[in-house]
Structure 1
């Protein structure tokens, strides 16, 4: 797919995150990114879909997915957990793109 960024594992075997993606795009830190909708881009008005790389590609391929921070009206889709609240261990995530509708 021309133009789509491949997210590769880093030297520790973990998937690279938005901090790497934004720094390689010249945006600097993920804390102020139009792709991550953070910092000065943290509201829907300041983070339109036109500023999010590949938004239309993902929405066309999977129209029911959340392709950016404000695709869902509650505004509660973007949050982070750095550690498990109960035992202090790192939190693990599983992301499923375009799940089988029968599995939902």
Structure 2
């Protein structure tokens, strides 16, 4: 499955637009990770626990979007985007969306 953020695939001919596909996950903070993050804010630097958590959440959202595209018969997704929002204190949604297409 090819996934691109552009509206086309260079060198490929889009034969069929299959529609919007999306995938999302809601990720909450973990109390143990929160404690480590709190300590890290004192000394500065990357909060690796949150970086890892968000990378995993993004991958879940992309995988779910890909599954939806496969169900539609797509072999590519164009104009893919990622967004995040807070759904409640301590929990965020990550959503991946794009247009499922068939290309040759």
- TM-score, reference length from structure 1: 0.22
The structure, 1 or 2, with the larger RCO (C-alpha pairs under 8 Å, 6+ apart) is: 2
Higher helix share: 2
Structure with the bigger percentage of strand: 2
Q: What's the TM-score, normalizing by structure 2?
A: 0.22
